[in-house]
Structure 1
Amino acid sequence: MLSIKQGDTFAFKAEMKNEDETPMTGIAYKLKSQIRDIKNTLYAELQITETDDIGTYIFKADAEITKSWPVTKLYCDIQYKDADVVSSSETIEIMVERDVTKDE
């Protein structure tokens, strides 16, 4: 489980590999990742950036976006598409906590 405070930048790194353990690259695969609650409400479409390490990506939501996330458990996965085959990663749980110190 990941955790974040409202209004903080949310980011995590993931190494994406094929079934044969070769790295997935942005050229061959279309990646998509969203943040939703248990009721399926969409809170964010994550920005996805490939790093210098082939097959490793940063998934990110800016602080301005997370400011409106509710204090609850949210969910995320990584969907990847190769031609007409669509697959998804395991579900990632994200605990959103109330921010105490605020930039007002």
Structure 2
Amino acid sequence: MSYDFDVGSQHYSYETGKRARETNKVVSGRDLEAIVTLLEVAALSLTTEEGATFARERLIAEARELGGSEIELRDEDIDIVLQKQSFLTRVGKELRLRWANTG
């Protein structure tokens, strides 16, 4: 089964009063909410078993791989997100998903 990812919605234009189709817009690589989501998905991807830990560098590499060439992740934006995030916890020098805590 194939899916059409060219998702759009229809609305009435303020200018013309006619129906217009609006398609999804590419998210900026500087959108912090998008970076949070990408890092969280990367952390999920690296959590292959309960309590699994991973290095910060591995998390960022995974996020960049998942984001592909269309999303440029800047180090300063990643730092902002990692300082404010609530889905990871430190285990020594590594990170782990907060819900994956075993102790």
TM-score (normalised: structure 2): 0.27
Q: Who wins on radius of gyration, i.e. which is larger?
A: 2
Between Structure 1 and Structure 2, which shows a larger proportion of strand residues?
1
Between Structure 1 and Structure 2, which shows a larger proportion of helix residues?
2
Q: Which has the higher contact order (CA 8 A, sep 6+)?
A: 1
